[in-house]
Amino acid sequence: MLEVCRNKIVTEINQSNYVAVMADEITDVSSKFQMVVVLRYVHEGSPVERFLAFINPEKHDAESLTHSIRSVLDPLLEENCNKLIAQAYDGAAVMSGRHASVYTRIREKYPLAYFVHCYAHQLNLIMSQAVSQNTQVRIFFSIMDDIVNFFSNSPQRLDILTEVVGKRIPRAVQTPWNFKSSAVNIIYEYRTSLIECMQQIQEQFSSAKAINQASAIERLLHDKVFLFWLNIFHNIMPHVDILYNQLQTRITDPVVIKSAIDTFENCINNVRKDIKSVIKRGEELFKFESESAPKRMRVSEESLRASALEVCDVMIQTAKTRFEYSGHLLASTLFFSDHFDKYSKTFPDDVLKTTVAAYPVFEVERLRTELTLIYMRPDFREINGAVAFLNMIRGNNLEQTFKETIKLLEIIITIPMSTAETERCFSTLKRVKNFLRNSVCVDRLSALSMLSIENTLIKNDINFNEKVIEMFASTKQCRIDLVFKK
């Protein structure tokens, strides 16, 4: 079963021109390191991300992890090492460090396999850095965690929350900013109901601890400083959530991601410019009561406003730094349709030179001519995204006219901007390998996971069951002859 799926994937890889590898690791229920390997490539004009296998690395060092990844890559790509053009991991030093990391060891054999730090992880780092700059913000999110834990640790409190508010506050997860965005929005929108919920808990519960916690949360839901930050992050978090969801999409490409990042930066900048109106709307909505904190602990409005501006500034500057397109990612800037008017007047020779140096597979002068034609034509300026460009060229039978451009587009589309697919594979791993089935072997685990993860690939192959039966019947381990002979 696993071999049939792999054969199908190998066929697709052989038909594609470029491949990128994504990998991540986790500790499973049997306390073993599990590494997942996923390949990304262009198939029928769109990027696909295919699960290959779960592997048990012997150790947690760069050498062992590299050996695990290469055990999958080498049989597929050893004859054409330049076919692997990108590696995408999280930001751990063992994976992405400049010296003796997995990334550098893979590049010793696959020289064009440049590293991409997962942009979803980088977004988490941006938010963490923005929050850590200010004591009041750190306290605010600590209180948010306390409110979530207050309900998640007690089914009785959760029942009251569901009955009174009609919504559940999501529990904390390893990728925290998606969770915190939902928590901020729910507390903002259902604040009055939450106050009523806390009052009911104080009346119905006999536990002194529960009563004290509910009373403390009720006071916080009237606290001016807490409500100030709740209002600020209610205006910021939806933009974080939108970008986070865009980064999780399988069929995205660097051109679309760059546009999404620019929109995110502009939205945060607009919140910063309109900070006075944001604060005023919050004051009108919450109708702040008299300051309840002791005089020595009160915070002035000017200080709060300055802190809010600081949070926005840190987010904008950190996003520009972490999401900067440089090196091999500069290739995608050649297809920013918003820049075509400027490119038609002044061709981006520096970007083309960097692109050709990173990927020396082009006829440079022909590529320059094709790009010049694209920049001059107004109909190309309405297209957004490398996938859309590639489908337009192929849909209009222009493959011979834009031969080098197609190469460049396939490279750009193949580059993964996040490792979301590896996280999805781990979700499947937790369902397949649980405490009741924690001794399953690696091959069987990969086979069961393949059935779940690549179910669309299997369903599209109408002869899949016949292929599995034929492969099983032809194995030498069978003690009886299962092949029908006339």
Task: Read off the pLDDT of residues 373-426 as tens digits, 9 standing for 90 and up.
Answer: 999 999 898 898 899 999 999 999 999 999 999 999 999 999 999 888 888 888
472 against 252, higher pLDDT: 252
In a shared domain, residues 99 and 156 = no
pLDDT band at 299 (very low <50, low <70, confident <90, very high): low
C-alpha torsion sign, points 457, 463, 465, 468: negative
Residue 454: the pLDDT is 82
Domain assignment of residue 197, yes or no = yes
In a shared domain, residues 36 and 53 = yes
In a shared domain, residues 265 and 362 = no
pLDDT band at 233 (very low <50, low <70, confident <90, very high): very high
Domain assignment of residue 362, yes or no = yes
* pLDDT(236) > 80: yes
Residue 435: the pLDDT is 67
In a shared domain, residues 232 and 300 = yes
Residue 294: the pLDDT is 47
Domain assignment of residue 479, yes or no = no
pLDDT band at 290 (very low <50, low <70, confident <90, very high): very low
Range of the domain at 103: 2-118+419-473
Domain assignment of residue 425, yes or no = yes
In a shared domain, residues 139 and 178 = yes
Tokens at 100, concatenated: 């003796």
In a shared domain, residues 344 and 460 = no
* pLDDT(340) > 90: yes
In a shared domain, residues 174 and 308 = yes
| Residue found under tokens 């979700």 | 427
In a shared domain, residues 221 and 147 = yes
Q: 3-state SS of 359-403?
A: CCCCCHHHHHHHHHHHHHCHHHHHCCCHHHHHHHHHHCCCCCCCH
C-alpha torsion sign, points 15, 19, 21, 22: negative
Domain assignment of residue 360, yes or no = yes
**pTM of the shown model:** 0.85
CB-CB neighbours of 268 under 10 Å: 22
325: closest CA among 390, 257, 247?
Answer: 257
In a shared domain, residues 132 and 28 = no
Q: How many domains does the chain fold into?
A: 3
DSSP state of 56: -
In a shared domain, residues 406 and 433 = no
